[in-house]
Amino acid sequence: MSPPNRTVTVKQVNTVIADAYSHSHHLLHILYALQQRFLHISHDAVREVASHLGLPISQVESVVEFYSFFHKIPCGRYNILLSNCTSCGYKAGGENLLHMLCHRLHVVAGKTRADGLVSIDETSCIGMCDHGAALLVNGMPITRLDAGKITRIADLVETETPLADWPAGWFRIDDNIHVSGLLLKDDVAAGDALRAMLALGAADTLSEIIQSGLRGRGGAGFSTGMKWKFCREARGDTHYVVCNADEGEPGTFKDRVLLHSHANAVLEGMTICASVIGAEQGFLYLRGEYRYLLPQLQAVLEHRRELCLLGNNILSHPGFNFDIEIIVGAGAYICGEESALIESLEGKRGVPRNRPPFPVTHGYLGQPTVVNNVETFAAAAHIALRGSAWFRAVGTEKSSGSKILSVSGDCAAPGIYEYPFGVSIQQVLDDCGAKDVQAVQVGGPSGMLINQEKFNRKLGFEDLPTGGSLMVFGQGRDLLAIIVNFAHFFAHESCGFCTPCRVGTALLKNGLDKIASGHGTQYDMDEMQRMGMLVKRRSHCGLGQTAANPILDSLQRFPHLFEQRLAHSNFEPYFNLDGALEEARQVTHRDDAAAHLK
């Protein structure tokens, strides 16, 4: 698999491009094919892709640089990425499994071993938080890692055992559904919701969706019916439906389960939306970390085409034409933000757009586009089948229906819990077997960190909104380490477009590192507060606007976490000036008082 000589490579590059292009014209798809075949995307490959797609070389180059799953220099034939999430991360079991694996395979993290066999690195949460520590090897997830498994993985790599011969059970991913409600109890059989929609008519189905009170499950909670209505009424040559399956918020994995076991409901919801807004093309944007779900999802799509639920004249309705293409992301959390996702679909870096205009009027290729979360589409299919009253009968006044939660962390039964909106945090904690809980992070790192006194608060748009993640932290956890982890996540995932977020998240990360290592002062605490507010207020998109939440929340609710680590001085610089002079002292063989700063 190592790249052969240059002439052959260019020829091979073009063969791979042509083959990939025959399946999909999307830039990400073609780059994936090259990455998989050659383990990197060379400058020659960039040039050939640009020429093939009629794009500027600079655009293709910048896309390769933007996404963390593309490499300009070859990664290993075994490319191993360990999650650094607080729930499925490599430190989850108390041992540093990343260091252990690197040590056994003689690899420096982030670098490819000289013989090209293996590369090991860390990556943001891979959505396996109900499965313990987890990694991806060539895109395939292995979970429930421990020291023993790490040793066996190292042996299998060293002996160059093909992945197909690794223990099959290692790759098994469970749904771990512990509480089922409206969406998970009964499935939507392929075609049932579509037939109900066709019997009622698109306009009346839209009214049902509006009356159901369904609000987006991706976090922001905008009325789904109104979104569809605005898009239906928007002028444009072509309308599009996009399913946001980027699910990158650490601690969130409910879309993984819906796609794995309820794909028909999701795809049916997209098809109903297409009929309502008049779209003929849909995209499912699947996060790169879930690439292993691709063959199964493609099979479901193919089956639906055979059943005449996709394609031309769906269910023999003349002019009802719609199909769905799956585009796989490449390791960028920001692509979950809907306008960044659309940029990515268009073959660009995932940089959020200015809004307004919103995607409902100016989305994919500038055309009216509905972007909804996986769970939102599944709920829409159920509503089309069972009616708005059925949905409204559950939940609260402003938050109708149910919410699927991804529960992880210090509890006996991490996994999927579906509750009517209005459920209290305490109820969830009781059900998942969480004892001696110190704090709960609701909605992932961009959400809210709440302490014991607030466990009677209720999940819902009136009180505690959430995209679905609930991370439980027991008394034994070092909460400051968790906040540091979140700060590193945001600094790493900032797309770099706007200064408050690009610089601010890095400064917050550095400041927290300083405090956590025992060098912080009151000055640093004040700086965290000031910088946190600045990043929150001045950033361009939701990532920056929420990145400081864990720090600001914990400064307010858990100030002792910081205070107990402060150094006993009013100010200590980030930079150790005297330490920096050490090399000069050694070279000049001086260690007298005058060679030190006072």
Ligand X SMILES: Cc1cc2nc3c(=O)[nH]c(=O)nc-3n(C[C@H](O)[C@H](O)[C@H](O)COP(=O)(O)O)c2cc1C
> Residues in the site for ligand SF4, rule: CB under 6 A?
334, 352, 494-498, 501-502, 539-541, 543-544
Cβ 505 to ligand SF4, closest distance in Å?
7
Residue 373 binding partner per list ligand SF4, ligand X, none, with a CB distance cut-off of 5 to 8 Å that depends on partner kind = ligand X
**C-beta of 46 vs 449, nearer to ligand X:** 449
Asked whether position 371 contacts ligand X by CB under 6 A, the answer is: yes
Residue 510: left if φ>0, alpha if ψ -120 to 50, beta else—which one? alpha
Q: For residue 39, with 0-12 CB atoms within 10 Å meaning exposed, 13-18 middle and 19 or more buried, which class applies?
A: buried
Strand 415-420 and strand 135-137: pairing?
A: unpaired
**C-beta of 119 vs 539, nearer to ligand SF4:** 539
* Chain CA centroid to CA 520, Å: 32
Q: Which of residues 242-301 bind ligand X (CB under 6 A)?
A: 244, 246-248
- 295-300, long-range: CB < 8 A, 24+ apart: 296/260, 296/263, 297/259, 297/263, 297/326, 298/326, 300/263, 300/264, 300/267
Element (DSSP H or E) covering residue 430: helix 425-431
Answer for which of 265, 543, 548, 561 binds ligand X (CB under 6 A) is 543
Write down the residue that tokens 């799509």 correspond to. 301
Distances (CA, A) of 58 to 20, 43, 50, 360: 21, 11, 9, 29
CB contact at 8 A, 394 and 182: yes
Q: Which of helix, strand or coil describes residue 418?
A: strand
Cβ 527 to ligand SF4, closest distance in Å?
20
Residue 336 binding partner per list ligand SF4, ligand X, none, with a CB distance cut-off of 5 to 8 Å that depends on partner kind = ligand X
Q: Which of residues 470-509 bind ligand X (CB under 6 A)?
A: none
Answer for which of 79, 83, 119, 373 binds ligand X (CB under 6 A) is 373
Looking at the DSSP bridge assignments, the partners of residue 325 are 283
Write down the residue that tokens 């809980």 correspond to. 437
**C-beta of 334 vs 385, nearer to ligand SF4:** 334
**C-beta of 139 vs 336, nearer to ligand X:** 336
Q: What does the alpha-carbon distance between residue 380 and residue 308 come to, in Å, rounded to a whole number?
A: 20
**C-beta of 66 vs 240, nearer to ligand SF4:** 66
**C-beta of 372 vs 406, nearer to ligand X:** 372
Cβ-closest position to ligand SF4:
544
Strand 78-83 and strand 135-137: pairing?
A: antiparallel
Residue 496 binding partner per list ligand SF4, ligand X, none, with a CB distance cut-off of 5 to 8 Å that depends on partner kind = ligand SF4
Residue 12: left if φ>0, alpha if ψ -120 to 50, beta else—which one? alpha
Instruction: Please name the residues in contact with 142: beta carbons below 8 A apart, sequence gap of 6 or more.
Output: 134, 135, 136, 149, 153, 170, 171
Residue 216 binding partner per list ligand X, ligand SF4, none, with a CB distance cut-off of 5 to 8 Å that depends on partner kind = ligand X
User: Binding pattern to ligand X, positions 211-250, x when CB under 6 A?
Assistant: -----xxxxx-x---------------------x-xxx--
Residue 143 binding partner per list ligand SF4, ligand X, none, with a CB distance cut-off of 5 to 8 Å that depends on partner kind = none
**C-beta of 252 vs 494, nearer to ligand SF4:** 494
User: Binding pattern to ligand X, positions 331-370, x when CB under 6 A?
Assistant: ---x-xxx--------------------------------
**C-beta of 460 vs 550, nearer to ligand SF4:** 550
Residues forming contacts to ligand X in the complex (CB under 6 A) are: 216-220, 222, 244, 246-248, 334, 336-338, 371-373, 376, 541-543
